[in-house]
Amino acid sequence: MNNDSPQAASNQFFKTRLGVIAATVGSAVGLGNIGRFPYEAGNNGGAAFLFVYIFFVVAIGIPVICAEFVIGRSTRRNIAGAFRELHAGFPWNLPAGTGLLASFLIMGFYSVVAGWTIYYLYESFSGFGGIAETAQLHERFDAFTQTPWKSLVCTLLFLLVNFLVISRGIRNGIEKFSNIMMPLLVVILLAFCINSLFLPGAKEGLSFLFSPDFSKITPGVVLSAMGQTFFSLSVGMGTLATYASYFNDRTALVRTASVTAVSDTIVAILAGIMIFPAVFSFGIQPEAGPRLVFEVLPSIFMKIPLGALWSTLFFILLFMASLTSTISMTEVSTSYIIQEWKLSRKKAVVVNAIIVTVLAVICALSFSVLSGIKIAGMTFFNLSDFLVSNILMPLGGMFISAFVGWRLERRVLRRQLTPEGHSARTPRYISLIVFSLKYVTPVCIFLVFIFGLL
């Protein structure tokens, strides 16, 4: 370990084991699980998508999370500094560049959707203007996103909260936050799942999510499932490496990686169980896109007792879940700016906020005034999502895994991955992880790219 590193100097470690888990799970669980997973599954054939997704989480997700953790904790530096310290020259250090780019782009579109949670929180108070019809809720969503000032105010409000938390640093900000919010989110999701099981479309919804029609698996579906894996696990852009640079030496990396992946997948499946019965009960299109959850949930809330209360609670939690994710995205570039440009945390946050705000404004306006501007047939909002999830994150993941699998000294890897650090024999799970990092992950990602993008 490096004792004169910036993190060690400012003593910014996560305080407790629970804090580490809560922060990594907090990063992973967010709009990606509750908003994006259901619509990606809806767009890509439901259960078939879910099965490919789970395969990727196990075969690629967990090993790449471990690889990121190793890079971060063994160097205790930001993503660019970490690769430098590990003597990773070009092209191994590519993930530093793609990761930083991704961290800005992702904030641009993610904060727009996170801003929607603020608007829906406000709508919850008004009981959605008394509307219960799905079609009208659909129009109401359009009316909101197509009004530039409304969507801008919500996005900017979200960014403000995000940067305030980030500027307070690791311990105070992130840890306290995640410890309380995550368990609460799971409890409320469970309550909604149970409610959904009693809806008239429950059977259809569950079979859409769980009985696969494998003929629906196309290269495009596989690419989307891989993109969703990276997006949902926050892996491939240095977020987890950055967090791991704040772990102490006792944090068990493989266990933390597994707990993160499993919890994240459970939350995504719960979100699916909550959404799809409602989709089929209320005649909503499963392919509705990012708006899906924002149309489905109010339709549920308007039909249950104390709906306004449930709705308020739900959107508060969704807001919090988004925030714990954006905090982690922002940390990639913030720690980079602090350490590489030698700026104070406050100044780094300001620089970051300026760049992200410009991108977020463009994304927010791509539902209204900028909706006509399309690149490769996509609005700026959709393009950012596509670029980050389907290209930058998997590409970063490919290089991270190949680097750790092929180039990193095995001694470093073993010391980081074995909790005691020095058992005589290499534990079996480490061999499996190394096997995936060397062969499975890079080859899979490469093939999916070739077939999915052509």
Residue (74 or 265) nearer to ligand PHE, CB: 265
Minimum CB–partner distance for residue 319 and ligand PHE (Å): 12
Residue (137 or 241) nearer to ligand PHE, CB: 241
Minimum CB–partner distance for residue 60 and ligand PHE (Å): 15
Q: Could you list the residues that contact ligand PHE (CB under 6 A)? A: 27-28, 30-33, 106, 231-232, 234, 237, 239, 325, 328-329
Residue (281 or 352) nearer to ligand PHE, CB: 352
Residue (114 or 430) nearer to ligand PHE, CB: 114
Minimum CB–partner distance for residue 1 and ligand PHE (Å): 25
Query: Taking the alpha carbons of 364, 369, 371, 373 in that order, is the dihedral positive or negative?
Result: negative
Residue (158 or 231) nearer to ligand PHE, CB: 231
Residue (234 or 311) nearer to ligand PHE, CB: 234
Residue with tokens 């560049």: 97
Residue (36 or 73) nearer to ligand PHE, CB: 36
Give the CB-nearest residue to ligand PHE. 32
Minimum CB–partner distance for residue 31 and ligand PHE (Å): 5
Minimum CB–partner distance for residue 29 and ligand PHE (Å): 6
Residue (28 or 293) nearer to ligand PHE, CB: 28
List, in order, residues 6 or more apart from 142 with CB less than 8 Å away: none
Residue (37 or 141) nearer to ligand PHE, CB: 37
Minimum CB–partner distance for residue 213 and ligand PHE (Å): 26
What are the C-alpha distances in Å from 144 to residues 35, 152, 154, 359?
18, 10, 10, 20
Residue (232 or 339) nearer to ligand PHE, CB: 232
Residue (30 or 201) nearer to ligand PHE, CB: 30
Minimum CB–partner distance for residue 232 and ligand PHE (Å): 4
List, in order, residues 6 or more apart from 151 with CB less than 8 Å away: 112, 115, 116, 119, 144, 145, 364, 365, 367, 368
Minimum CB–partner distance for residue 154 and ligand PHE (Å): 17
Residues 377, 372: Cα–Cα separation, whole Å: 10
Minimum CB–partner distance for residue 451 and ligand PHE (Å): 24
Residue with tokens 């493989």: 254
Minimum CB–partner distance for residue 66 and ligand PHE (Å): 17
Residues 177, 274: Cα–Cα separation, whole Å: 25
Residues 363, 379: Cα–Cα separation, whole Å: 8
Minimum CB–partner distance for residue 107 and ligand PHE (Å): 9
Is residue 278 within 8 Å of residue 296, measured between CB atoms? yes
